Amino acid sequence: MDAQVPGTAPGTAAAPPAGSHPGAAGSPGPDAAGPERTWSLQREWSRAFLVMLTALLIGAVVTIVGVRGLMNQVEETSRRLQVELEKVEVLRSALDAHEQLGHQLLANAPADRSAFVRQQDEISRLFGETAAVLPGDTASREKLDAARQSWQEALAAHGLWGSQVQSLQGSHLDQTPAFAASSAAIRMQLADIRRYSLAEMDDGLAHSAELERFLFIGRSALFVAALGATAYFRRRMVKDIIRPVESMHHGVRKLQAGNYNHRIEVFRRDELGELAEAFNGMALAVRNSHEALTHRATHDPLTGLANRAALMEHLTASFGAGSTRRNRNEGLLFIDIDDFKEVNDSLGHERGDALLVQLAARLVACVRSDDMVARLGGDEFAIVVMDDDAGSVTAGIAERIHEALRAPFFVGEDRLTVTASMGAVQRRLDTSDAAELLRQADFAMYLAKHGGKARLQLFDAEGYDHMTYRAALKRDLAAAAPEGQLRLEYQPIVDLTSGAILGVEALVRWQHPTLGLLAPSEFIPIAEETGDIDAVGCWVLDTASRQAAGWRKALPRCEHLWVSVNLSTIQLPNPRNLAAIKRILADPAAQADKVVLEVTETALAGSTDGGIAALKTLKETGVRVAIDDFGTGYSSLSSLAVLPADILKIDRSFLGRQASEAQSAAMLEGILGLARMLSLEVVAEGVEDRRQLELLRALDCHMGQGYFLARPAPAEMIVALLAAGAPLQPGPAELERAVDS
Ligand code: C2E
Ligand code: CA
Ligand code: CA
């Protein structure tokens, strides 16, 4: 019963042509006049019920009439019998009385002879009446006639009939026994009549029983006919109603399950047949609109190419269960039109669209029939290249595209030449999914764009890994401060003559949940990019200042210990963040006069406007400012005079090995002289060996910081160092003093 529409296998239905109304194709529509109905369920079943009703009526009438007849018969028989018996009874008593009188006459007893004759006439009349009630041609009638005959003959024989009576003389007692015998015989005959009548009644009742049998047979025949009719109508009901309804139900279930090609079989052209046809029309309309919707959902309306969703579905399928060798080796080309925005801006969106349509056609002309060209949106296109083992097919297609774009486009009166930047990626075993493949191709295209446009860039896994690593850090950074993943290490800043710890520099680390402990160089630049530096910076300032205040209070000889905190200049221009920093420093718990804010020279030089003003307002809290990495920024010496600095931290490159000792000594000496003139304190960074330490001492540099003096360490180790109070790398004078005491 799975009727398929001829010529359309499921899933291969062609897309409806543009502009066609989904319901227009083939559906009968509600008001379309279909062919005349040839059968009518209503008419048929009305007739069937009429036939049944008539049969019932006939049955009822037959029963009523039959029973009525039967009753009449019985009544009639019993009434007649009663009349007969009454008449016979009257006749009998009259005969008895007459016999009595007859005996008196024969015995010559005094009797009224004329009364006897009247009696005789009366009895004759009674015989007549009785004969009238008895049906003719019956045995009882014969008997009656015979009795009448016998009675007349007996009377006549004894001289008692009619006029004979008057002439009867004397006693005839000798005749009395004969007379009595003949009277007895007549009585017997009358008794016979009674018997016959009863027998007749039996006959009548027997007739009724026969009638009843006929009635029974008639009723049974009617019942059999009703049974036959019921079986017949049941079969018709199954064939004409139940089956079509079931088939319709089946069709509805199929449609619900998404089989839009299933059609209901039309059994007959009756009401249900019309319903089935209407359903089929509806199913066709649903299929058409489903196809139109699917087409709309998977295609770009402007170019008719597959859209992003369709491309992703295609790629996802090749990663999933439907994966074959051909699509495991697929390549993906990401295409972005160069400077398309300018076309749109100068010619308008309509012409921009017209260009995209022509462009799409050229792209399609550059690929093989089973490669997929999709428009991802705007001026971005992608091509899935099937079965490209080494990437040569993808590169070939990219080359053909470059070639195809060389010819100018004509949009209205305008003649345009466009180029495209393309990124190509080859699917590898470790490519996790479709989205990643697309991201990789996009990344390659991005590099092509930044590498000068109008070119193809092959995917570079290392660069991509770096980018994704950075992207992951970017994503996780926001949670670092609120979720307590930041740590602080402190590096002592040392008095180079005595070896005493004067201050500590707070250096931040990030305990990343999966990547481990990260150095600031790995995430501070990203935090500056994302703006998370504000939160990180405030956390460092708050934590370091409070912790150092605690040490000052708790540890002996630490009451002047200061703490250096690095500040990114990104933190300064934002008024809200500046206020937050100010709030932290204004809190007495922070002890701002023992806090040094380190700002790099380069950063300050780059943002002279907000940065310097902001630092000046911060200094109102009593905080000191150090210029970090001094000497690397090439800032003019004149600008140094306007910076609100208290300390110069000479960059470690001045102590580095690349410069000759004499050269670095000269530079250091210059900086130290300059600082002295500007009344700035100096900290030399990067003291890594004794030789450097000695040089600084010889140049009369008072403070230093470096691995040779102390490495950055967690708070507990710094506390231990401070508590011990031992000088770090003490000078010869200090050593002597220590030995003396
Ligand atoms: P910086 O401010 O110049 O900090 C000193 C850096 O030099 C530290 O690296 C320290 O471990 C390292 N260092 C110290 N002594 C020596 C030495 O003798 N030789 C060598 N080669 N290196 C030495 P770290 O901790 O990796 O910090 C790197 C940079 O990250 C810092 O440079 C600073 O610019 C930045 N930074 C650290 N913490 C923060 C922070 O809380 N906020 C901001 N904005 N930046 C921070
Ligand atoms: Ca620093
Ligand atoms: Ca530094």
The pLDDT, as a whole number, for residue 734 is 72
Residues 453 and 499 in one domain: no
Say yes or no to pLDDT of 572 above 70. yes
Answer for the pair 589, 542: CB distance below 8 angstroms, yes or no. Answer: no
Q: How many residues does the chain have?
A: 741
Residues 194 and 142 in one domain: yes
Strand partners, 704: 494, 684
Ligand 1 site, residue 707, Cβ cutoff 6 A: yes
Ligand 1 site, residue 566, Cβ cutoff 6 A: yes
Residues 446 and 560 in one domain: no
Strand partners, 41: none
- CATH number of 105's domain: 1.20.120
The domain of 667 spans 488-740
3-state SS track over 420-470: EEEEEEECCCCCCCHHHHHHHHHHHHHHHHHCCCCCEEECCHHHHHHHHHH
The pLDDT, as a whole number, for residue 15 is 38
Tens of pLDDT along 296-353? 999 999 999 999 999 999 999 888 766 676 667 889 999 999 999 999 999 999 999 9
Instruction: Answer left, alpha or beta for residue 414, where phi above 0 means left and psi between -120 and 50 means alpha.
Output: beta
Residues 335 and 215 in one domain: no
Residues 727 and 601 in one domain: yes
Residues 323 and 440 in one domain: yes
Residues 453 and 504 in one domain: no
Q: Are strands 409-411 and 414-416 parallel, antiparallel or unpaired?
A: antiparallel
Answer for the pair 232, 224: CB distance below 8 angstroms, yes or no. Answer: no
The pLDDT, as a whole number, for residue 634 is 62
What separation in Å is there between the alpha carbon of 488 and the centre of ligand 1?
A: 12
d(CA 673, CA 119): 193
Name the residue with the closest Cα to ligand 1, atom 45.
566
Rounded to an integer, the average pLDDT of 262-270 is: 90
Say yes or no to pLDDT of 659 above 70. no
Answer for the pair 546, 590: CB distance below 8 angstroms, yes or no. Answer: yes
Assess if residue 736 is contained within a domain.
yes
DSSP 3-state of 600 = strand
Domain stops at, among 173, 200, 222: 222
Assess if residue 18 is contained within a domain.
no
Assess if residue 1 is contained within a domain.
no
Assess if residue 707 is contained within a domain.
yes
- CATH number of 304's domain: 3.30.70.270
Contacts of 615 (CB under 8 A, 6+ apart): 572, 597, 599, 604, 625, 643, 644
Ligand nearest to the CA of residue 650, numbered in listed order: 3
Secondary element (H or E) of residue 84: helix 41-106
Which range is least confidently modeled, 29-38, 216-225, 382-391, 591-600?
29-38
Tens of pLDDT along 626-657? 999 988 876 656 677 778 899 999 999 888 76
What tokens were used for 360?
């799409």
CA angle 142, 145, 146 (to 5 degrees): 85
Name the residue with the closest Cα to ligand 1, atom 30.
520
Assess if residue 233 is contained within a domain.
no
Name the residue with the closest Cα to ligand 1, atom 15.
706
Say yes or no to pLDDT of 452 above 60. yes
Name the residue with the closest Cα to ligand 1, atom 34.
566
Name the residue with the closest Cα to ligand 1, atom 41.
508
DSSP 3-state of 725 = coil
Say yes or no to pLDDT of 26 above 60. no
Say yes or no to pLDDT of 541 above 50. yes
What separation in Å is there between the alpha carbon of 614 and the centre of ligand 3?
A: 21
Answer for the pair 251, 283: CB distance below 8 angstroms, yes or no. Answer: yes
Assess if residue 472 is contained within a domain.
no
d(CA 300, CA 706): 63
The pLDDT, as a whole number, for residue 346 is 93
Rounded to an integer, the average pLDDT of 540-550 is: 97
| Best residue for ligand 1 mutational test, from 566, 691, 708 (most atoms within 8 Å of Cβ) | 566
Answer for the pair 502, 495: CB distance below 8 angstroms, yes or no. Answer: yes
pLDDT averaged over every residue in the chain: 88
Residues 446 and 571 in one domain: no
32 vs 555 pLDDT, higher one = 555
Say yes or no to pLDDT of 23 above 60. no
Assess if residue 2 is contained within a domain.
no
| Best residue for ligand 1 mutational test, from 494, 524, 526, 545 (most atoms within 8 Å of Cβ) | 524
Answer for the pair 332, 427: CB distance below 8 angstroms, yes or no. Answer: yes
Tens of pLDDT along 62-85? 888 888 888 888 888 788 888 888
Residues 630 and 672 in one domain: yes
Domain stops at, among 173, 207, 222: 222
Rg (CA), the chain: 66
- Of ligand 1's listed atoms, the one at least distance from the Cα of 528 is 44
pLDDT band at 730 (very low <50, low <70, confident <90, very high): confident
Assess if residue 596 is contained within a domain.
yes
Domain stops at, among 222, 252, 284: 222
Please tell me the total count of domains within the chain: 3
- CATH number of 564's domain: 3.20.20.450
Q: Are strands 380-385 and 372-377 parallel, antiparallel or unpaired?
A: antiparallel
What tokens were used for 732?
């010869």
Residues 315 and 400 in one domain: yes
Say yes or no to pLDDT of 28 above 80. no
Rounded to an integer, the average pLDDT of 167-174 is: 86
The pLDDT, as a whole number, for residue 641 is 76
What separation in Å is there between the alpha carbon of 498 and the centre of ligand 1?
A: 24
Ligand 1 site, residue 507, Cβ cutoff 6 A: yes
Which range is least confidently modeled, 113-117, 520-524, 536-540, 714-718?
113-117
Ligand 1 site, residue 336, Cβ cutoff 6 A: no
The pLDDT, as a whole number, for residue 727 is 87
What tokens were used for 473?
């850090």
DSSP 3-state of 706 = coil
Ligand nearest to the CA of residue 568, numbered in listed order: 1
Residues 590 and 699 in one domain: yes
Residues 539 and 618 in one domain: yes
What tokens were used for 58?
């006939």
Ligand 1 site, residue 712, Cβ cutoff 6 A: yes
Classify burial at 225, counting beta carbons within 10 Å of its beta carbon; exposed 0-12, middle 13-18, buried 19 or more: middle
The pLDDT, as a whole number, for residue 225 is 87
Give me the residues near ligand 3 (ion), CB cutoff below 5 Å: 628-629, 685
What separation in Å is there between the alpha carbon of 712 and the centre of ligand 1?
A: 9
Ligand 1 site, residue 741, Cβ cutoff 6 A: no
